[in-house]
Amino acid sequence: MNLPTVCVDGVVQRWEDLRLQDFAQGFFFGAGFFTTFRIDAGRPLFLARHLARLRASLAAFPTAVRAPEPALLHEDAVRDSLRRGLEADPLMGARFTGVGKLAVSDGHVLCTFRPLAPDLEALHREGRTLDSVEAGAYRRAERTVNHKGLAWFRQHALLPRLPVITNEADEVCELPTANLFVQFDGALVTPPLAAPCLPGIARAVLLEVGPLEGLPVVERALPLADLSRVQACFFSNAVALAVGVPHLLGRALPDSLRLAERARAVLEARALHEG
Amino acid sequence: MNLPTVCVDGVVQRWEDLRLQDFAQGFFFGAGFFTTFRIDAGRPLFLARHLARLRASLAAFPTAVRAPEPALLHEDAVRDSLRRGLEADPLMGARFTGVGKLAVSDGHVLCTFRPLAPDLEALHREGRTLDSVEAGAYRRAERTVNHKGLAWFRQHALLPRLPVITNEADEVCELPTANLFVQFDGALVTPPLAAPCLPGIARAVLLEVGPLEGLPVVERALPLADLSRVQACFFSNAVALAVGVPHLLGRALPDSLRLAERARAVLEARALHEG
């Protein structure tokens, strides 16, 4: 899945040359964190935010994960390392568009690259139906869910079905790999971090930028039962940015695609602005 | 931490030669399972049980984890592969006493070895105080807790403190790396798998073998509050077998050491019997 060129601690290497030994705590215990981001024509989107989240996760678990030298997670160092990785690989090049991943474990920073999923345009055009719920899979304020850890198996195992994950109070948390936004009661509502859910980069940007099509964007506890009354729905992540949900748990929500398109436009504009 | 010789899919290799690429799903997503067991003078204890648990975990998540060829997890094949690994390493040899670990991910079976912790004898002699609780960290019937997954970060992060983990109903579940047994109301009580807790190998053997010092061994929901009334306590895992808890959440339980010693004797005898 990964392209053949990677960077480890800023040094360009070949994926096939990396040793398991150097990432043993990440492998055996999931003791590490990662983040996945979009690269547009060589430019990583929201890189500073992704790095800030990685640093926050390392700070939250100072003994359980061996952090890399702080300089290795500075924005300029990572940007430079990504650039050299792209330029070193004839399959990518300086103007590569695709997906980057930063994984941090065992004192190392690993950057890998892969192409965009071929169906991303269709996903943007047609949206994605959500038709199942994983009830009570999270508990409120569960701490590890707020960090994108290498121990990501609970979410990984749910990915093919993409259920709406709820907590023990039947409140909506997130999707396995995305935050959820719904148009409801005159606002664009997304669950609070304590639901719990991942502090997604696109989610944070949408909350900061503010009203979308006149709808204030707010964090608010979202009972699963309320999904039967929402007017539109999309989900967000750092790669697809925003994807409309034209069918949510059996209800048709035709306005979802347009709302997701507006959210994508906001995210793309903001990414340009942040450089 | 690992000794230099390992086996992958039955082939003896050097730990430093393994490639991250071959274990990528285990590393990035915690998509795999592991088990850790004692090796006494070259003999892996309860190997058939450890393999049965690995196979059950693979069967429980058939799409999320790429299983190895079934033959690679047959008892004879693994026993043979362990033997060849021990004989190949001058630091171990055919009569090695220590710890083995089997990790399964990405279609591979990885066996690694390490020495016994130098303080294991002291741990058996003196026991281990338990003085903290991780309240509500698990929820009842949480499925992934019943499988020893490579996404083991929640437990890994709690290891240094070794708290008693409870669920949302304030019932005892387990310790981060051990099952808990308490003498209470004329029985030796351990929480049920649905608490949830790991189906530990030593735990299963103690339940099967039956009365310990005249106490029937039973699975029963164990409210945290009841710990203030127990008469003795030990914890079990496949490496230390059983460790007494002479101090539990501030209470002295002097009988714990003797009870743990009895449990160890039962486990050692049973391991001999199972060959």
Minimum-distance CB partner of B18 among A19, A28, A101: A19
Smallest CA–CA distance from B102 into chain A, residue: A28
- Residues in chain B within 8 Å Cβ distance of A1: 24
Q: Does the beta-carbon distance from A30 to B150 stay under 8 Å?
A: yes
Smallest CA–CA distance from B151 into chain A, residue: A151
Minimum-distance CB partner of B157 among A64, A139, A150: A64
> Which two structure tokens, joined as six digits, stand for B104?
């399964």
Residue with token string 């942040």: A274
Listed residue (B147, B155, B40) closest to B96, CA to CA: B40
Per-chain mean pLDDT for chain B: 92
Q: Tens digit of pLDDT for each residue in A123-144? A: 888 888 888 788 877 777 777 8
How far away is chain A from the Cα of B171, in angstroms, using its nearest Cα? 15
C-alpha dihedral (A93, A96, A100, A104), degrees to nearest 10: 30
ipTM score: 0.87
Q: Does the beta-carbon distance from B149 to A153 stay under 8 Å?
A: yes
Using alpha carbons only, give the angle B100, B105, B109 rounded to the nearest 5 degrees.
45
Between CA B96 and CA B106 the distance in angstroms is 29
Q: Does the beta-carbon distance from B152 to A29 stay under 8 Å?
A: yes
Mean pLDDT of B193-214: 93
Q: Where in chain B is the domain with CATH 3.30.470.10?
A: 5-114
Between CA A22 and CA A248 the distance in angstroms is 43
Rg (CA), chain A: 19
Contact (Cβ atoms closer than 8 angstroms) between residue A20 and residue B17: no
Smallest CA–CA distance from A17 into chain B, residue: B19
A212: DSSP letter:
B
C-alpha dihedral (B201, B204, B205, B209), degrees to nearest 10: 180
Residue B62 forms contact with A (CB below 8 Å): no
Between CA A219 and CA A196 the distance in angstroms is 12
Q: Is the pLDDT of residue B137 over 90?
A: no
Minimum-distance CB partner of A63 among B30, B34, B160: B160
Return residues 67-96 of A near B (CB < 8 Å).
none
Q: Is the pLDDT of residue B128 over 90?
A: no
Q: What does the pLDDT read at residue B253?
A: 94
User: Quick one: fold of A5-114?
Assistant: D-amino Acid Aminotransferase; Chain A, domain 1 (3.30.470)
Between CA B97 and CA B110 the distance in angstroms is 19
At residue B121 the predicted structure's pLDDT band, cuts being 50, 70 and 90, is: confident
Minimum-distance CB partner of B27 among A16, A23, A144: A23
> Which two structure tokens, joined as six digits, stand for A91?
């399959």
Mean pLDDT of A74-80: 96
In the 3-class helix/strand/coil scheme, how is B128-166 assigned residue by residue?
CCECCEEEEEECCCCCHHHCCECCCHHHHHHCCCCCEEE
Nearby residues of A249 by Cβ (< 8 Å), 6 or more positions away: A130, A131, A132, A133, A164, A227, A228
Q: Is domain A122-274 annotated with CATH 3.20.10.10? A: yes
In chain B the first and final C-alpha atoms are separated, in Å, by: 28
C-alpha dihedral (B20, B24, B28, B31), degrees to nearest 10: -130
Listed residue (A96, A107, A113, A122) closest to A37, CA to CA: A113
Using alpha carbons only, give the angle A274, A150, B51 rounded to the nearest 5 degrees.
165
Residue B136 forms contact with A (CB below 8 Å): yes
At residue A265 the predicted structure's pLDDT band, cuts being 50, 70 and 90, is: very high
Q: Is the pLDDT of residue B1 over 80?
A: no
- Which CATH architecture does the domain made up of B120-274 adopt? Alpha-Beta Barrel (3.20)
Decide which of B214 and A146 is more confident.
B214
How far away is chain B from the Cα of A1, in angstroms, using its nearest Cα? 10
Q: Where in chain A is the domain with CATH 3.20.10.10?
A: 122-274
Cis peptide before A216 (omega within 30 of 0): no
> Which two structure tokens, joined as six digits, stand for A169?
């109070």
Q: Tens digit of pLDDT for each residue in A154-174? A: 888 888 888 999 988 999 999
Return the minimum-mean-pLDDT range out of A49-53, A109-113, B19-23: A49-53
Task: Name the most confidently modeled range: A167-176, A235-244, B16-25.
Answer: B16-25
Mean pLDDT of B46-68: 92
Q: Where in chain B is the domain with CATH 3.20.10.10?
A: 120-274
HSE-CB of B128 using CA atoms within 13 angstroms = 21
Return the minimum-mean-pLDDT range out of A180-184, A245-249, B26-30, B126-130: B126-130
